[in-house]
A = this chain, B = another copy of it.
Amino acid sequence: MEDTVFWEDIGEMIRVLVKRFGILNANCCDTCCGEEVSPAQSHIILEIGKRSCPSMQDVAKCLCMDITTFSRQIKTLEARGLVTKSPDPGDKRINLLALTPEGTQVRNKINNHMREYLNLLFSGMTEFERDTVVRSVKLLSEALENSGICCFR
């Protein structure tokens, strides 16, 4: 009884939190990168940046994007000079993705923006609170990882 209310509550909070960060991300894409990338594209850029020469499948799967949609997004990003696509020497079916210097710049802009925002967010907290939050983010990350529900990996 009490428990139901509790879960409803915490679920609602997480929903709002996630929605807010999502909006933040969308705004960031508009604001910090000169309107050149959409939220979906920013995810792609960050994900390519995080890995080393991932294939299209790798990135598309980890973002749960339809491969055809993904293919077209990459086409756009390539045309804008942010991403390169090069055939895998060992398997000609596969295209390996990488960021161009411009793409890396965009990546840095996005990361800086996020960092500034987190700084602002954490600045209103005590050291203890900050640590609590950081630990929780890690905990949740791991729990999500292990739950295996989502294709993100």
Contacts and interface: CB of A to CB of B under 8 A. Distances in A.
Nearest to A115: B7
Interface in A1-22: 4, 7-8, 10-22
A63 B20 CA distance: 9
A50 B19 CA distance: 15
Given A7-B118, A8-B115, A10-B137, A16 B132 contact: no
Interface residues of A, number: 56
A135 B143 CA distance: 16
A137 B14 contact: yes
A139 to B, nearest CB: 5
A124 to B, nearest CB: 6
B125 A16 contact: no
Interface stretch (A78-86, A93-101, A145-153): A145-153
